[in-house]
Amino acid sequence: MRFPRFVRLAVLVLPLSAACKEDNEFGLGIRGEDQFSATLSGANVRPSPVVTTATATASFTLRDPEIGQGNPTLVYAVTSTSLTSARAVDIHAGGSAVSNGLVLATLFTNPADTALTAAQIVSGAISTNAVVGVSFDSLVALMKNGTAYVDVHSTGRPSGLIRGQISRTGENAPGDRFVAASLAGSKERPTPVLSTASGSATFEQLPDGTVRFKVDVVGLTGATMTHIHHGVADSAGPIAVPLPNSTTSAGPFTGTLASGAFGATNIALPGVSLDSLLSLMRLGRTYVDVHTELNKDGEIRAQIEPVTTLP
């Protein structure tokens, strides 16, 4: 049996129509992984949260150009609740623990700080020439890695009134992340230690409020204890959090020395809450110290810093 001509045509057209999208005539370049969002609040401002009832949401869609035409664009919209004024809305580089990250793109400016009367602050599209400091592709990569955020700046809060980490739509935004890179004996204080051992440590705040940690070492002998200490780079400070070792090998050891998670009840500093400890970590006022039988006061250490860009 032969189909009439118009039926055969419908068979071809209907799937194409189903692929069409409102903001992209033929649905080209719009995939689930190309949708991003950020939820902004004062609690997300770094290094210290801001008390405010204002909130906002930002949405982003990566659109590939039509075949043979132009460059990709990042379509965006920022909508607020209880936000009465804003001088600027920017995308910054940095993990959620970073403060004053590099501005990558400006979504909105209002130098006169006139009152905002509409819920939608701004909408538009970022092209390749609107990104500063990095390439357009690098901006998208940072968004995918959870190391870019949206910050709303006001006259009263020039460093940020409300803020939110960018993540793929439908996924939880990453929590605060930190790294103590290049643990070394030369960083021990008050007296550097001559050691061939090295290492690194990573930390991530989880949705339940606890902090996951991992300490890796290379060529370390006789490990006894690992701690987070309170102190700046040129000082030795008190223990803030014990990080129990998963191994106490007497010989040279290379691998994960300690891993797990800690919460408020694990903090050894009297009167210090988990939020206060995280604030100290954001400000670079804590460090990781690995102690050994030979160097009981510490053999290798490194300052804890917020993660700016994920590997």
Domain count across the chain:
2
- Residues 163, 266 share a domain: no
Instruction: Give how far the C-alpha of residue 153 lies from the chain's centroid of Cα atoms, to the nearest Å.
Output: 19
Q: In this predicted structure, what is the pLDDT of residue 290?
A: 97
Both tokens of residue 80? 């607020």
Query: Residue 31 is which amino acid?
Result: R
Q: Judge if 148 and 184 occupy the same domain.
A: no
| Residues written for the chain | 311
Contact call for residues 300 and 184 (beta carbons, < 8 A): yes
What is the reported pLDDT for 143?
95
* Alpha-carbon gap, residue 277 to 299, rounded angstroms: 23
CATH of residue 301 = 2.60.40
Residues 38 and 156 grouped into a single domain: yes
pLDDT of residue 9: 39
Q: Which of 168, 195, 213 represents a domain boundary (last residue)?
A: 168
Neighbours of 260 (CB within 10 A): 14
Task: Give the pLDDT of residue 308.
Answer: 78
**183 and 162 in a common domain:** no
262 DSSP β-pair partners: 211
Same domain, 257 and 221: yes
- At 27, is the secondary structure helix, strand, or coil? coil
pLDDT at 251: 78
Region label for 67, one of left (φ > 0), alpha (ψ between -120 and 50) or beta (otherwise): beta
Q: Which of 114, 140, 168 is the last residue of a domain?
A: 168
Give the C-alpha separation, 52 to 85, whole Å: 13
* Residue 64 pLDDT: 84
pLDDT in tens, the chain (311 residues): 454 544 443 444 444 344 444 444 444 445 556 999 999 999 999 988 999 999 999 999 999 876 656 789 999 999 999 999 899 999 999 999 999 999 999 999 999 988 998 999 999 999 988 999 999 999 999 999 899 999 999 999 999 999 999 999 999 888 899 999 999 999 999 999 999 999 999 999 998 989 999 999 999 999 999 999 999 999 999 999 999 987 766 779 999 999 999 999 999 999 999 999 999 999 999 999 999 999 999 999 999 999 876 43
| pLDDT number for residue 48 | 87
Domain holding 124, by residue range, is: 23-168
Question: Quick one: 195 and 134 in the same domain?
Answer: no
Instruction: Locate 150 and state its tokens.
Output: 């949206």
Verify that 126 and 231 share a domain, yes or no.
no
Q: Please give the pLDDT value at position 122.
A: 97
| CA pair distance 32, 76, nearest whole angstrom | 16
pLDDT of the residue at 31: 55
Give me the sign of the Cα torsion angle 20, 23, 28, 31.
negative
Helices and strands counted in the chain (H then E): 3, 18
What pLDDT was estimated at residue 3?
Answer: 46
Residue 311 forms part of a structural domain: no
Rg of the chain (C-alpha set): 25
pTM above 0.75, yes or no: yes
User: Is 272 a member of any domain?
Assistant: yes
Residue 298 belongs to some domain of the structure: yes
Gap between the Cα atoms of 56 and 152, Å rounded: 9
7 part of a folded domain: no
Domain-ending residue, one of 128, 150, 168: 168
